[in-house]
Homo-oligomer: A and B are copies of this chain.
Amino acid sequence: MNLSHKADYALRAVCNLSKLPKGKRSSIRLISQEASIPREFLAKVLKDLAASGILVSAKGVQGGFCLKRPAHKISYLDVIEAMNGPLHLSLCTESGECSCYSVDDHCYMHQFWVAQEKVFRNALSKRHFGIKR
Contacts and interface: CB of A to CB of B under 8 A. Distances in A.
Interface of A: 1-5, 7-8, 11-12, 15-16, 18-19, 33-36, 76, 80, 84, 87-92, 94, 99-104, 106, 108-109, 111-112, 116, 119-120, 123, 127, 129, 131-133
Contacts of A99: 36
Contact of A4 (B1, B109, B120, B131): B1
Contacts of A106: 132
Given A16-B103, A103-B19, A111 B89 contact: no
A131 B112 CA distance: 12
A17 B5 CA distance: 33
Nearest to A85: B1
Nearest to A15: B108
A127 to B, nearest CB: 6
A64 B6 CA distance: 40
Nearest to A86: B1
Nearest to A99: B36
